[in-house]
Structure 1
């Protein structure tokens, strides 16, 4: 589509509710302001945070904006730059993150305008599928891998050398990113899964050891890999998995929890965790801070540049493509816990 027409297709909603509140409309294309870039979106990535934001705490609620374009993640090409923007030029390939944070315009549209600090270069050779699969999963995984008391604070080859990382839910999008980033940084990775199909995906992502967390001897299997205990747990369901995590965590180890996994609360025994100097780190991408976001964007981009974080079933993350007009179906797929990554083909 040419921007001369000054209109674009966009998916919007004007109140909270189920996926039926999403509608395809035509909207004017705006110019970027100072410090902003306009991105021609090729792929839009859908995450659980997107449908949870859409539903709110109940249907029919008013929104902070007149209408909202959903989806935090995406990939595309810089189409225009605002005053004061450096580091990006028209034609640059980029991936985006937190595209709709405190803003009404996400990536479920043909063009989106973003602050320049919400885009990162998409290295040559990396597909738009990869770019749109980064964002929430990769930034969250990076944060989880960089909050241990003994470091590191940044990821690069060798940064996790000699460490053992336990990735809970190794077949999920964050789990996939955590496995690949941890391996790139030199860690030994153990992933837990619920069955053989997900074990195949976690292995394809790069986990050297895969354990079914339902096995009675799951802790013994993990301890066989890490006799002194694991250094970092990347946890998707702390309420369900805490006993297993604590059974395999080393002294001064960290449990980095990024999702509730269906549980609203968790009970922690004080004395044994005090003795172990256990660190509990809860993670939400929206409040992790600008310094951590910038570090994650840089490190993730560096990993992508050398072929890390590849997607597709052969790399442990099946892809599910939807057209822009099928955005409601894409949201429903994520809401139904579809295994893999849901992408919207905007272009």
Structure 2
């Protein structure tokens, strides 16, 4: 089968290459998925570039990148019901702590990591559910129902932010989103009740004004380090900051006393490590929203397998309004 691999860290165009390898065979408890799409996420790009803190070389001699994907189960290992063959599925943790991810014609992985795709959901959307979808559902609903609450979603125009706005509104929350430029209109279209420019010098006051002077119970945060001062100012006592990113400031200085005297919970969300029961609940939230047709997953661009390097570069360039996918059936 055809697959994209890398063996050393470096620029996408330098290290990613298309090769032919033997198709995988499922081990006991595994399924083999014939892939249709592979999702490219910032974490995949950082892993290939070698920019994860403390990581100096790839964990395996040869890596097929990408953790997200969608396709059809084509074979099963011992202990897995043969009735799963032919099932449409989406994948989570495809390349997490494993050598071979979804940038290939097929993948074998534990049966539970291939989740049945609702009949009304496209393969394109399926390839976005693993990291962006689960992250958005977790940071919105991680403390339970949000009906009647106000959520601040920092960075509501990104893929996770867009899904978080949609999910929060579906859950009955009042949503204040931040963005900039064209991203502000994307937040409005997603259903945000108020959209603010995150570069405003008086952003904290604008957030409070938008919430009738009341502090915010839950903040979904894409840039934890950069925004911690604002978040600390507007968070309510016993509130939660659910942070899933901090790319612009990886070693933030925390205003500990103000956070302490509000008893703020800082929930650092790494979706790869969700415990089994919480992952099941998060998947249920996603599927319920999808089946109700209240959640759309916009796609910025789809690249053929041979253009995986360009797909990585598109993710690195940022300033996009949707996900980047690889159509693994096309060269």
TM-score bracket for the superposition, by shorter chain length: over 0.9
CA–CA separation in structure 2 for the residues paired with 1:53 and 1:67: 13
* Greater CA drift, 237-246 or 80-89: 80-89
CA–CA separation in structure 2 for the residues paired with 1:221 and 1:86: 55
User: Conserved in 2, the CA contact under 8 Å of 1:121 and 1:301?
Assistant: no
Query: Does residue 1:278 correspond to 2:255, yes or no?
Result: no
Task: Report the CA distance between 1:98 and its aligned residue.
Answer: 0.8
- Structure 2 counterpart of 1:21, from 7, 15, 26: 15
Task: Report the CA distance between 1:87 and its aligned residue.
Answer: 9.4
Show the counterpart of 1:240. 226
RMSD of aligned residue pairs (Cα, Å)? 1.9
Query: Aligned to 2:266, what secondary structure does the other structure show?
Result: strand
Query: Aligned to 2:176, what secondary structure does the other structure show?
Result: strand
Show the counterpart of 1:257. 243
Task: Report the CA distance between 1:268 and its aligned residue.
Answer: 2.0
Segments of 5+ residues of structure 2 without an aligned counterpart are none
* Greater CA drift, 258-267 or 218-227: 218-227
When residues 86 and 191 of structure 1 are mapped into structure 2, their CA distance, relative to the original with a 3 A threshold, is: farther
Show the counterpart of 2:61. 66
User: Conserved in 2, the CA contact under 8 Å of 1:99 and 1:107?
Assistant: yes
Q: Give the 5 Å matches for 1:25-36.
A: 25-36=19-30
**Cα deviation digits, residues 27-62 of structure 1 (max 9, x gap):** 11122111111111111110000011112249x954
Show the counterpart of 1:95. 90
Query: Aligned to 1:98, what secondary structure does the other structure show?
Result: coil
When residues 289 and 177 of structure 1 are mapped into structure 2, their CA distance, relative to the original with a 3 A threshold, is: same
Query: Aligned to 2:175, what secondary structure does the other structure show?
Result: strand
Show the counterpart of 1:221. 206
CA–CA separation in structure 2 for the residues paired with 1:161 and 1:307: 19
Give the structure-1-normalised TM-score.
0.88
- Structure 2 counterpart of 1:293, from 274, 279, 282: 279
**Cα deviation digits, residues 81-105 of structure 1 (max 9, x gap):** 2122259611111111110111111
Segments of 5+ residues of structure 1 without an aligned counterpart are 1-7, 153-158, 313-317
CA–CA separation in structure 1 for the residues paired with 2:232 and 2:117: 38
- Structure 2 counterpart of 1:212, from 197, 205, 222: 197
User: Conserved in 1, the CA contact under 8 Å of 2:302 and 2:324?
Assistant: yes
Task: Report the CA distance between 1:292 and its aligned residue.
Answer: 2.3
Show the counterpart of 2:304. 323
CA–CA separation in structure 1 for the residues paired with 2:255 and 2:203: 21
CA–CA separation in structure 2 for the residues paired with 1:64 and 1:216: 43
Give the structure-2-normalised TM-score.
0.92
Show the counterpart of 1:144. 139
Alignment: residue pair count? 324
User: Conserved in 1, the CA contact under 8 Å of 2:163 and 2:296?
Assistant: no
Query: Does residue 1:168 correspond to 2:154, yes or no?
Result: yes
Task: Report the CA distance between 1:161 and its aligned residue.
Answer: 0.7
CA–CA separation in structure 2 for the residues paired with 1:125 and 1:87: 23
Query: Aligned to 1:250, what secondary structure does the other structure show?
Result: strand
Task: Report the CA distance between 1:338 and its aligned residue.
Answer: 4.0
- Structure 1 counterpart of 2:114, from 111, 115, 119: 119
Task: Report the CA distance between 1:329 and its aligned residue.
Answer: 0.6
- Structure 2 counterpart of 1:335, from 316, 326, 330: 316
When residues 330 and 324 of structure 1 are mapped into structure 2, their CA distance, relative to the original with a 3 A threshold, is: same
When residues 221 and 23 of structure 1 are mapped into structure 2, their CA distance, relative to the original with a 3 A threshold, is: same
Task: Report the CA distance between 1:216 and its aligned residue.
Answer: 3.1
